[in-house]
């Protein structure tokens, strides 16, 4: 086939023939059938397509190689393919494929079909996958897009991705599989042959082994990142001695906190020697450490030394005390060596020795154990550690030794009680008979109500000279028997009302997450046991009792915890108790009886907000009716044979809480000054009225505070006016001063 046209002239026929030549070349690139290309005519051809339509040129080359080529709709544009001399169909087709590659297109074979697609999609549609150098062994041509898998033996695949990425076409891919230690690359076969040689040269074992360098002064966890950066190797991603553990720069530094040593490995002996020399220069005692032997004293400003020592020991673990640098405490369960990173992450472990986990008490003697000790007398911490570790501990201490917020809790306990009682009834007694009769008839009613005694009790008391008819209106009928006046009948009416309005406001202030307690009441004795020595006749009797005193009144115990956003979580216990005025029958010798109302729970309330903690609403109705059967149920006349009492008790008890968070001294002082003025105002309103007959006409009042600050001067006189301090005595040299 001879298509000989000048390069500057184009036509449809030339475009089609040029496209056929290009497509034949692309088909040679992708599938193996291109090697056995057998066109009908073996005559040389001369192609001349200048700025011809790609689709038309593709049809021309499809006719030349006698195979259909499917064109992707996204393939658009023009192409130029020409030759100065006649050439074979195979060479013309390879030139067509090369021209397509320059335009970003490629011909791939999938399922026996040839497809012209964008080069970015060629990696998704190619069906050729080879492992290692199998592509060269199969004879795949260089212009074919294939996927090849390279299995590495020594090198980390992530380290090679950055090296090989610039050598691969922008539309093709390279991926690392760390699990199988392999690289998956999709590119043209001829480029993969060059990449295979580069990978073979880089995937080589290290020339040196792992060397352990013990440290005398420095901390391994702190020194490892610095040495790693100096070695210009970056952090390793694997463990030493296994494939893929070598760092990209040929040097790997690992810290072993257990033995305070560095594990180093380099790509050659000279680099290893340079790392050893660097470590020797850095492993020196700090010039700031004096004869104290790495011992430091930290005076705390706000935190408690005994508590903070326990926290720091638990956070850092224990180290060997005294001497030069001690090794860091044992790490948490896991690998003994911890790979370091350039970020300076500490390799301190979480495992604690018995000394580190020992509780620290507030005794007078300092606590022992661990690398940090507390001195309660001066509220200080004594730290025994090398300077690098001391800086880490000191940074933690500075964050924990901060001023804690305080919480002022206002509580309001309101109790409303009402008691209404009414009683109405008749009682009578009668004796039928004559003087001298041997027998007689006694009849009557006898009711004992809570409001008063029965008619028999009244008669017995009258016979003894003690008359007690009880409360209320009593109307009775007296009768004389043998000269003795007794009560024959009595009608009693009684109505009582009792109301109580009790308001208690216990307030207290405490630190964040610290429990506070306030008790307002009395300490009442309770009999817990008694003993009487009866002995023999005439022996001495030695009775004794065991008494326990208990607080009776208002008790408030709160532990506040300040959260984010000003919310306060409080664990609250509130109790209100009182001694009952009446004592149950049979318990006179057992001591007083008490009533108790308590609330316990955990609540959350915002700063300054009021919360109803709980309450009790009780409405009790009691009806006591005493009567003579049948007779007491008669209308009208039945009232003479019955007695009835009714009682209604109402109790309302509500507890309110309001927390106020004070985060600084200014807010605490302002709040205290406000309460100071409040108390002073109540003192002024409670002054006694002037009286001619009473000499005391005024009570002490707190001094005025015009600046809003609580005065600190002592009070003098009944008005509370402050007395100025006396001037200091003059001092003359040579004269002794008064003690």
Q: The domain that contains 41 carries what CATH number?
A: 3.30.1370.120
Does 668 lie in the same domain as 607? yes
Structure-token match 């903690």, residue found? 613
Q: Mean pLDDT for the chain?
A: 72
Residues paired with residue 521 on neighbouring β-strands, in sequence order: 553
Is the confidence at residue 487, as pLDDT, over 50? yes
Q: State residue 459's pLDDT score.
A: 66
Residue 195: DSSP 8-state: H
Does 626 lie in the same domain as 516? yes
Is the confidence at residue 569, as pLDDT, over 90? yes
Q: Single out the residue of 76, 187, 170, 181 nearest to residue 122, CA to CA.
A: 187
| Structure tokens given for 291 | 């004869």
Of 202, 221, 251, which marks where a domain is finished?
202
In a domain, 726, yes or no: no
Measured in whole angstroms, the distance separating CA 80 from the mean position of its chain's CA atoms is: 70
Is the confidence at residue 560, as pLDDT, over 90? yes
Does 350 lie in the same domain as 426? no
Sign of CA dihedral 92, 95, 100, 106: positive
Is the confidence at residue 587, as pLDDT, over 80? no
Q: State residue 17's pLDDT score.
A: 45
- Of 57-71, 194-208, 323-337, where does mean pLDDT reach its minimum? 323-337
Q: State residue 309's pLDDT score.
A: 92
In a domain, 270, yes or no: no
At residue 34's C-alpha, the angle toward residues 32 and 38, to 5°, is 130
Residue 55 backbone dihedrals phi, psi, to 5 degrees:
-65, -40
Does 320 lie in the same domain as 177? no
pTM recorded for the entire structure: 0.45
Q: How many domains does the chain have?
A: 4
In a domain, 304, yes or no: yes
In a domain, 739, yes or no: no
For 49, the enclosing helix (H) or strand (E) is: strand 48-53
Residue 639 backbone dihedrals phi, psi, to 5 degrees:
-65, -25
Q: Single out the residue of 400, 443, 169 nearest to residue 305, CA to CA.
A: 400
Is the confidence at residue 524, as pLDDT, over 90? no
Structure-token match 């790997």, residue found? 252
Q: Single out the residue of 582, 576, 537 nearest to residue 554, CA to CA.
A: 576
Does 423 lie in the same domain as 523? yes
Cβ(314)–Cβ(378) below 8 Å: no
In a domain, 299, yes or no: yes
Q: What per-residue string of b and e applies to 660-670 under the rule 16 or more CB within 10 Å gives b?
A: bbbbeeeeeee
CA 333 – CA 280 distance, rounded (Å): 30
Query: Which domain, by its residues, includes 333?
Result: 295-354+365-400
CA 249 – CA 229 distance, rounded (Å): 10
Does 561 lie in the same domain as 422? yes
Q: What is the pLDDT of residues 603-631, one digit of tens each?
A: 999 998 998 887 777 788 888 887 778 77
Of 96, 125, 154, which marks where a domain is finished?
125
Does 197 lie in the same domain as 172? yes
- What's the whole-number mean pLDDT along residues 200-218? 80
- Of 59-68, 567-576, 596-605, where does mean pLDDT reach its minimum? 59-68
For 282, the enclosing helix (H) or strand (E) is: helix 269-282
Does 564 lie in the same domain as 474? yes
Pairing of strands 544-562, 516-531: antiparallel
Other CB atoms within a 10 A radius of the CB of residue 647 amount to 17
């Amino acid at each position: 086939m001879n298509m000989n046209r000048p390069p500057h002239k184009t036509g449809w026929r030339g475009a089609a023939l040029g496209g056929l030549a290009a497509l034949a070349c692309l088909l040679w690139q992708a599938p193996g059938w291109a090697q056995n290309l057998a066109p009908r005519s073996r005559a040389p051809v001369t192609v001349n397509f200048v700025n011809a339509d790609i689709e038309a040129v593709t049809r021309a080359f499809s006719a030349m190689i006698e195979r259909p080529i499917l064109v992707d709709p996204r393939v658009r544009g023009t192409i130029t393919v020409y030759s100065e001399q006649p050439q074979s169909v195979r060479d013309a087709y390879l030139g067509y494929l090369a021209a397509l590659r320059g335009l970003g297109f490629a011909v791939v074979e999938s399922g026996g079909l040839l497809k012209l697609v964008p080069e970015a999609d060629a990696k998704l549609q190619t069906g050729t996958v080879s492992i290692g150098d199998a592509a060269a062994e199969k004879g795949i041509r260089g212009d074919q897009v294939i996927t090849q898998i390279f299995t590495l033996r020594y090198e980390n695949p992530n380290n090679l991705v950055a090296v090989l990425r610039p050598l691969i076409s922008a539309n093709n891919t390279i991926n690392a599989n760390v699990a199988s230690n392999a690289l998956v690359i999709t590119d043209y076969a001829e480029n993969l042959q060059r990449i295979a040689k580069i990978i073979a040269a880089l995937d080589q074992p290290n020339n040196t082994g792992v060397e352990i360098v013990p440290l005398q002064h420095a901390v391994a966890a702190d020194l490892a990142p610095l040495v790693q950066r100096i070695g210009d190797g970056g952090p390793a991603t694997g463990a030493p001695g296994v494939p893929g553990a070598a760092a990209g720069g040929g040097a790997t530094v690992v810290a072993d906190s257990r033995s305070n040593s560095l594990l180093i490995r380099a790509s050659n002996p000279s680099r290893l020697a340079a790392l050893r020399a660097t470590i020797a220069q850095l492993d020196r005692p700090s010039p700031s450490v004096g004869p104290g032997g790495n011992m430091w004293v930290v005076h705390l400003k706000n935190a408690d030394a005994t508590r903070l020592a326990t926290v720091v020991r638990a956070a850092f673990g224990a180290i060997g005390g005294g001497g030069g640098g001690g090794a860091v405490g044992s790490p948490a369960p896991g690998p003994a060596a911890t790979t370091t990173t350039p970020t300076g992450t500490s390799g301190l472990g979480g495992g604690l020795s018995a000394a580190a986990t020992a509780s620290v008490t507030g005794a007078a003697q300092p606590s022992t154990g661990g690398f940090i000790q507390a001195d309660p007398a001066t509220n200080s911490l004594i730290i025994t550690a090398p300077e690098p570790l001391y800086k880490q501990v000191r940074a933690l201490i500075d964050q924990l030794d901060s001023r804690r917020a305080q919480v002022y809790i206002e509580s309001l306990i309101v109790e409303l009680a009402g008691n209404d009682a009414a009683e109405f009834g008749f009682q009578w007694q009668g004796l039928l008979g004559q003087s001298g009769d041997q027998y007689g008839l006694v009849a009557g009613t006898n009711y004992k109500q809570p409001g008063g005694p029965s008619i028999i009790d009244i008669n017995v008391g009258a016979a003894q000279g003690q008359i007690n008819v009880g409360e209320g209106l009593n109307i009775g009928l007296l009768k004389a028997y043998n000269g003795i006046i007794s009560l024959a009948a009595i009608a009693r009416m009684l109505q009582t009302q009792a109301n109580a309005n009790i308001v208690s406001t216990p307030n207290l202030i405490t630190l964040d997450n610290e429990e506070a307690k306030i008790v307002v009441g009395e300490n009442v004795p309770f009999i817990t046991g008694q003993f009487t020595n009866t002995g023999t006749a005439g022996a001495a009797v030695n009775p004794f009792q065991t008494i326990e005193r208990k607080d009776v009144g208002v008790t408030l115990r709160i532990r506040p915890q300040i959260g984010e956003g000003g919310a306060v979580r409080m664990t609250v216990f509130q109790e209100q108790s009182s001694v009952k005025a009446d004592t149950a029958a049979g318990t006179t010798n057992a001591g007083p009886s008490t009533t108790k109302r308590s609330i316990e729970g955990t609540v959350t309330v915002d700063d300054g907000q009021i919360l109803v903690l709980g309450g009790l609403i009780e409405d009790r109705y009691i009806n006591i009716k005493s009567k003579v059967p049948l007779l007491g149920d008669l209308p009208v006349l039945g009232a003479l044979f019955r007695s009835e009492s009714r009682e209604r008790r109402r109790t309302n008890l509500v507890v309110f809480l309001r927390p106020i968070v004070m985060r600084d001294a200014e807010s605490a002082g302002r709040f205290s000054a406000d309460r100071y003025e409040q108390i002073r105002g109540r003192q002024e309103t409670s002054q006694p009225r002037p009286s001619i007959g009473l000499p005391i006409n005024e009570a002490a009042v707190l001094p005025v505070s015009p600046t809003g600050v609580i005065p600190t001067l002592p009070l003098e006189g009944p008005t509370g006016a402050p007395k100025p301090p006396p001037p200091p005595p003059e001092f003359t040299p040579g004269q002794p001063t008064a003690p």
